[in-house]
Amino acid sequence: MKVILAVLSHFYPEVTERSIHLTHGLIKLPGGRKMSSRKGNITLATDILEAASAANRALTGKDDHDVVTGAVKYAFVKQRIGGNIVYNPEESVSLEGNSGPYVQYAHARARSILRKAGDRQAALGVEFDTAERSLARKISEYPEIVAKAVTELMPHHIATYLYELAQSFNRFYEQAKVLDDPREAIRLRLVSLYADVLRDGLGILGITAPEQM
């Protein structure tokens, strides 16, 4: 990359000046051989996508482009830049654990709650109860996390945060009834803010935030 940027500087110096090369490791499938470009036994992008598609079909019985590409992107971006990555297709498409589909489903679930609420009004109150305050606090961390990811050029911070946010919402939902509750308005507002943050964060990572799954 140093050579490429040096050559590029002779033709497009303005591009070179704003270019930063971030080194990364190798990507392997579980049990994969040691890769060698000389021997030609490297893992191709098509290998990764096909493995993810096959794993998703085995799990759900259907093909879903957004889920598959989201699973692959998230599996890579959640890793800190610089090290090798062993890509596990089954783990990447799982709806459990730190995966793209888990966060996508978290967004779809929140949107489902909002659809069920229909035209009912959502609003923020003056005081939160314990469950509401915990979720609101986690939501409020989002701008700081994005700024940190940009400053450090480390997008895994956003992936980690989205996973933690989804877990925070699950705890909130276990403790606090949203619909048909005296505190429905404030809780609907929190659900709406939560869903918007998930959608925005996934968008930054180049992952679709589905309305339904």
pLDDT in the model for residue 30: 80
The tens place of each residue's pLDDT in the chain, 213 residues long, gives 889 989 999 999 999 988 888 888 888 878 755 555 555 667 788 888 999 999 999 999 988 999 999 999 999 999 999 888 889 999 999 999 999 999 999 999 999 999 999 887 777 766 889 999 999 999 999 999 999 999 999 999 999 999 999 999 999 999 999 999 999 999 999 999 999 999 999 999 999 999 998
Q: What is the DSSP letter of 85?
A: E
Name the token pair of 210.
């589905």
Domains (range + CATH), the chain: 2-93 (no CATH), 100-204 (1.10.730.10)
Rounded Cα distance, 38 and 212, in Å: 45
Amino acid at 48: I
What length is written for the chain?
213
Q: What is the pLDDT of residue 188?
A: 94
Residue-level pLDDT at 144: 98
49, containing H or E segment: helix 45-60
- Give the pTM: 0.87
Q: Cα torsion for 116, 117, 119, 124, to the nearest 10°?
A: -150
Work out the widest C-alpha separation in the chain, in whole angstroms.
Answer: 67
